[in-house]
Structure 1
Amino acid sequence: METMLIGSVLSALSTGFGALPILIFKRVSHRWRDWLIAFTAGVMVSASMFGLIPQALDVSDTIVVSLGVLLGVVVLSLLETYIPHIDLESRPGGATSDKAFLIVAALFLHNIPEGLSVGVSFASVDQELGAVVAIGIGLQNMPEGLLVALFLANQSIGRMKAFWIATLTGSVEIVVAIVGYGLTNYVSGLVPYGLSFAAGAMMFIVYKELIPESHGDGNARTATFSFIFGLLSMIVLMDLFG
Structure 2
Amino acid sequence: MESVHVWGILITSFCTALGALPVLLIRNLSHKGKDSLLAFTAGIMVAASTYGLIPSALKLSNLYVLVIGILIGTFVLLLLEIVVPHHDLDNTSQQAGSASILLFLVAMSLHNIPEGLSVGMSYASEYKDLGPIVSFAIGLQNVPEGFLVALFLMLQQVRRWKTLLYASLTGLIEFIASLAGVYFGGSFEGVIPYGLAFSAGAMLFIVYKELIPESHGDGNERASTLAFIIGFLTMIVLTSILR
TM-score normalised to structure 1 length: 0.87
Q: In 2, distance between residues paired with 1:218 and 1:114?
A: 33
Residues 157-172 of structure 1 aligned to structure 2 (within 5 Å) = 157-172=158-173
Q: How does 1:87-236 map to 2 (within 5 A)?
A: 87-94=88-95, 96-236=97-237
3-state secondary structure, aligned to 2:91: coil
Partner of 2:8: 7
1:182 Cα offset (Å): 3.4
Take 1:198 and 1:190, find their aligned partners in 2: how far apart are those partners? 12
Secondary structure of 2:176 counterpart: helix
Identify unmatched segments of 5+ residues in structure 2: none
Match in the other structure for 1:34 = 35
- Matched to 1:176, the amino acid is A
User: How far apart, in 2, do the equivalents of 1:20 and 1:113 lie?
Assistant: 24
Once the two structures are overlaid, the 10-residue window that deviates more, 160-169 or 89-98, is 89-98
- Which amino acid in structure 1 is aligned with residue 120 of structure 2? G
Would the aligned equivalents of 1:123 and 1:191 in 2 still touch at CA under 8 Å?
no
Distance 1:177 1:25 in 2: 31
Counting aligned pairs with the same residue, the percent is: 50
Equivalence for 1:85: 86
1:17-40 Cα deviation digits (max 9, x unpaired): 222233332332222222222122
**TM-fit CA distance, 1:186:** 2.2
- In structure 1, the gaps of 5 or more residues are none
1:174 is displaced (CA, Å) by 0.9
CA displacement 1:201-231 (0-9 Å, x = unmatched) = 2212221222112212212221111111111
**Residue range with higher mean Cα deviation, 87-96 or 97-106:** 87-96
4+ runs deviating over 6 angstroms: none
Tell me the C-alpha RMSD between the 2 structures.
2.3
Cα 1:94/1:222, change in 2 over 3 Å: closer
Instruction: Report if the CA contact (8 A) 2:80-2:107 is conserved.
Output: no
Are the counterparts in 1 of residues 115 and 196 from structure 2 also a CA contact under 8 Å?
A: no
Q: Which moved more, 1:95-104 or 1:47-56?
A: 95-104
Structure 1 range deviating more: 178-187 or 32-41? 178-187
Structure 1 residues 133 and 228: CA distance shift in structure 2, 3 A = farther
Deviation at 1:173, TM superposition (A): 1.0
Report the AA paired with residue 205 of structure 2.
Answer: F
Matched residues in 2 for 1:125 and 1:74: separation? 30
Aligned residues: 242
**Structure 2 counterpart SS, 1:127:** coil
User: What is the rounded CA distance, in whole Å, between the counterparts of 1:113 and 1:221 in structure 2?
Assistant: 33
d(CA) in 2 for partners of 1:190, 1:143:
27
